[in-house]
Chains A and B, each alone.
Chain A
Amino acid sequence: MVTCSHLTRNYAARPGSVAGIVDVSLEIPAGEFAVLQGPSGCGKSTLLLTIGGMLRPESGTVSVGGTDLYSLSASQRAEFRASRLGFVFQLFHLVPYLTVRENILAGMSTTQARSLASSVDSLIHDLGLSDRRNAHPGTLSAGERQRVALARALARKPALILADEPTGNLDPANAQLVFQHLDRFRRQGGAVLVVTHGNDAAPFATRTFRLESGRLVQNPSLLPA
C-alpha cells in the first residue's frame, strides 16, 4: 500500500527548530494499523505530511498503491489526495462556516457528494452525529469535532488514512471511539498511519515505528492483528 524509500526532508517547524526526517524507509501494507511514535519535534508530522503528498522530500520516494506521489504534477497529486487519502488532524481543522454534513462532504465534487450522500448519512449515524448534522463546528464538543473530522476522512472511501495526533485533544472515551473507527476501517482493508507521542493507540496497532531526531530508530515490529 505505502512504500517510503530513503526519505529525507529538512523542515524548520519554528525558527531555530528542525523537525525533519533523515533516510526514512518504511512500508505499510493494506489492512495495517501502523503507529508512528516519537517525542515532540522528532519529525513525525513531517513524515506524515510527506507521505500525504503535501511536503515534497528532498530525496527518496513515496509510493501509495503503486503510484509514485512526487512524480505526479501538483494538480494530479491534489486529485490523488482527494480520491485516495484521508486526513485526521489533532486540531480537527473543520471549516467553521460549514455544517457537520457539509464538512464531511467538503472538497468533494457535486457528483461525488451526490453519489456518496447515503453512505455519508449512515456514517453520520454510526459516529453518533445524527442530531448534530446541521450544527456548525463552533457549537460542537471536541469529541464531536474529531468524529466529524474522522467522518470526513472515511466518507471518501480512501485507501489510506493519515492521522496526526488524532486524540491529542480528546478525553479517553472519545479517543477510544476514534481508534475503534480507524480499526474498523483497517479491518475493511484500508491502511492507517497514526502519528502519536502517547501510547493510547498501542492496543490497536498492528505495526509500530519509532522516530527520533528524524530517524527510524526501531525496526518495524509486526504485531498480531
Chain B
Amino acid sequence: MPLFSLILRELRHHRFNAALSLLGLVAAVALLVVIRLLTTAAERETRRVVRDLGFNLRIIPRETDPELFFATGYSDKTLPADAVQRLASGAQTFVSFNHLTASLERRIPIGDREAILTGLGPAVVGGGDKKQPMGFNIAPGKAHVGYLLARRLGAKPGAPLPVQGRLLTVEKVLVESGTDDDIRLFTSLPDAQAILNLPGRISEIKAIDCLCLTADQDPLTQLRAALTQLLPEAQVLQMRTMADARAKQRQTAERYSRFAVPLVLGIGAAWVGILAALNVRERRAELGLWRALGHGSGRIAALFLGRAALLGIAGAALGYLLGNAVGLHYGPKLYPVTAGGFASEPALLGWALLVTPAFAALAAFLPAMIAVAQDPAETLRAD
C-alpha cells in the first residue's frame, strides 16, 4: 500500500490524536498570521499618526542661524533644489529618510498684512520604498489658503488670487489648524520660486527619519554624520519628541514580535512533538509488526515524518484561513485610523504551506527517531 494511503488511514483511525495535532498547528499558524497582520497594521497606523503629526526632520542650509530659524519658523538662506534628489538617492546608503518634501518659505505682504508663502515640491519617498507619498501636491497655478488668511482675504475655492503680480487660483481653503498654517499660502514650488524670484532654490527639506533610535541612543549624531556625506551644504534639526515617539512605538512592536513569534513556535513545536510521541507510544506493536514485515528504518521514519508533514499542510491552509479571518475581523477595530488598509496577504499562505510541514516534521523528528530505534523484539515477544 502506498505510504500516503497508509498515513491517511492511520490519521483517520487515530483521529483524536490527529485532530489535536492539527489543532495545535492551526492555532500556531493562525496566531502567526494574526501577529503578522497586526504588526503590519501597527506599523501602518504609526506611520499614519506620525504623518499626521508632521515631519520630524528639518534639513536647512548650513549657514542658517538656528535661533533665527526658530524665531521666524523658516530659514532665510537657500539650497539648490536638486538637494532633495541627492538626499533621496543616497538615502538607502547612508540612513533611511522617507517622504522628503522640498519647500521654499518667505514672509510676503498680501492684502494689508503679511502671510507666509510656502512653495511645496512633490513628495519623494525613499529609494525602493513602496510607501505612499505624504502630504499634498499642489499643481502649478493653484493655491491652498490657510484658514485665517482666507477669512481675511475673503478667498473661496475657484476664486482668483493675485500674489505679487502672479495670478493664482484658490483650489482649497484649509480647515483651522491652530498653528501658523492658518496664515500660510501654499503654492507649488515653481510658483513660489517665481513669486520670490529665487529660481532653482529651496529653503528646507522636511523628512521623516527611519533611524528608529530613541533619544538615549543618540540618533542625531548619526543623522548628522550621514548628512555631512550626502549634503555638506545642509544641517539637520530633529524634532526630538516626535522622533522619539515614533522610534519607541516601532521598537515596542519589534520587541512584541521578537517575544511572541518564538513563543508561538515553541509551544506549537512542543504540542506537535508530544502528540507525535504519544502516537509512537500508541503504535509500538504496529511498528514492531512493520519491522517484522520487512520495513526498514527509512520507511518507519517516513510514516511519522510524512504524517507530520501532511498535518502541517492541512494546518497551514486552515491556520491561514482562520488567522486571516480573525485578523481581518478584529484588526480594524484595534487600528481604526487605518482600518481601510487591512487586506489579506496571500503570500503568507505560500510561506505557511512551505514552512509548516517542515516545522511539523522537525517537531516530530525526535519521536520518529524513537520509533525507528524501537526494538521490535520488545513488542512482538510473547514470553
Contact = CB atoms under 8 A, between A and B. Distances in A.
A95 B13 CA distance: 10
Contact of B1 (A42, A83, A105): A105
Nearest to B1: A102
Nearest to B376: A54
Interface in B287-303: 288-298
Contacts of A42: 383
A165 B293 contact: no
A49 B383 contact: no
B294 A79 contact: yes
B166 interface: no
A46 B383 CA distance: 8
Q: How large is the interface on A (under 10, 10 to 19, 20 to 34, 35 or more residues)?
A: 35 or more
Given A95-B286, A96-B13, A113-B1, A82 B383 contact: no
B2 interface: yes
Interface string B176-193: 000000000000000000
B12 interface: yes
Contacts of B375: 55
B292 A81 contact: yes
Contact of A81 (B285, B286, B294, B381): B294
B383 A40 contact: yes
A74 B307 CA distance: 24
A82 B293 contact: yes
Interface size class, chain B: 20 to 34
B377 to A, nearest CB: 5
A44 B383 CA distance: 7
Interface string A164-183: 11001000000000000000
B216 to A, nearest CB: 62
A53 to B, nearest CB: 9
B130 to A, nearest CB: 51
B9 interface: yes
B380 interface: yes
B382 interface: yes
B294 A82 contact: yes
Nearest to B14: A97
Interface of B: 1-2, 9-10, 12-14, 285-286, 288-298, 375-377, 380-383
Interface of A: 11, 13, 19, 40-46, 49, 52, 54-55, 74-75, 78-83, 87, 89-91, 93-98, 102, 105-107, 110, 113, 152, 164-165, 168, 195, 197
11 contacts: A40-B383, A41-B383, A45-B377, A45-B383, A54-B376, A74-B297, A78-B296, A87-B293, A91-B382, A98-B9, A164-B381
